[in-house]
Amino acid sequence: MDEPRRRAYLQALGVQVWTPRAGPRADGQGPREAASRPGMLADSHPDPGAELPERIAATESDSTSAVSPQPSALPAGRLSWDDLRRQVASCTACELQRSRTQTVFGMGDPHADLLIIGEAPGADEDRQGEPFVGRAGQLLNAMLHAIGLQREQVFIANILKCRPPGNRNPSLTEVAACQDFLARQIELVAPRLILSVGAVSAHNLLDSDESVGRLRRRVHSYGPGGIPLLVTYHPAYLLRRPEEKAKAWEDLQRVAESLGI
């Protein structure tokens, strides 16, 4: 990606690219070279002592957590994309079918290297039938652009396929009703990497109650194939807490490293 475009994407994400002033070299032989450094958000503070990994593959084994896959209860667990989409659209397995406008199946490249899994549809998603639209969707697009990806190059799905009333967190019953739909989507996409976005997504995919702040700096493993899984903040959270965008940028850099972007 050319430098002007990269800077434009980082600016859209809210990450400031700065160039330090030239100063004397340590050996006293003249001015040192100035270097561009993508990174810190204006008026934000990084984690003390935080360092980015050289490569995602170099993550120590003691920081990797494996997760047993959930057993599939759907009789149509081997459905094709089209049949799965139809089954989601006609689902009446939980009470959300009474309040939804429409289901939100997911969208993107069905063979994407990167699978993004969010929490549950909101009001905009319920109206349009697509995941991550509105302001949060615009920020997610900017986050992807910052590492050289277009929305169409990834697949985006949610833990739930229907909006919980009032945007409340999903219940255990609702998650259970949708888990086989998501499991089949993961099987069909067969991504190289899963990016779990937000606490509800991370807690359900990893069967964990740890905070996103604690989960996000580790490489996790999902399913029998051990798909690498990273955790980051939800764009809606970043809109409320823009000072956390610098940490999200660290997470995106790890995504780019793992995909060789």
Strands 114-118 and 65-67: unpaired
Taking the whole predicted model, whether its pTM rises above 0.75 is answered as: no
| pLDDT tens by residue, the chain, 261 residues | 556 555 655 565 555 555 544 444 444 444 444 333 333 333 333 343 333 333 334 433 334 444 433 433 445 468 999 999 999 999 999 999 999 999 999 999 999 999 999 999 999 999 999 999 989 999 999 999 999 999 999 999 999 999 999 889 999 999 999 999 999 999 999 999 999 999 999 999 999 999 999 999 999 999 888 999 999 999 999 999 999 999 999 999 999 999 998
User: How crowded is the C-beta side of 6, counted as CA atoms within 13 Å?
Assistant: 12
Taking every pair of Cα atoms in the chain, the longest distance, rounded to a whole number of angstroms, is 74
Q: Which domains does the chain have, with CATH numbers?
A: 76-259 (3.40.470.10)
148 is written with which tokens?
């050289």
Rounding to the nearest 10 degrees, give the CA dihedral for residues 174, 168, 219, 177.
Answer: 10
Detail the DSSP E strand segments found in 141-197: 155-158, 193-197
* Residue 144 · residue 223 · CB < 8 Å: no
User: How crowded is the C-beta side of 131, counted as CA atoms within 13 Å?
Assistant: 26
Amino acid at 89: A
Structure confidence by residue, pLDDT tens digits, 154-174: 999 999 999 999 889 999 999
* Residue 193 · residue 230 · CB < 8 Å: yes
131 is written with which tokens?
């995941």
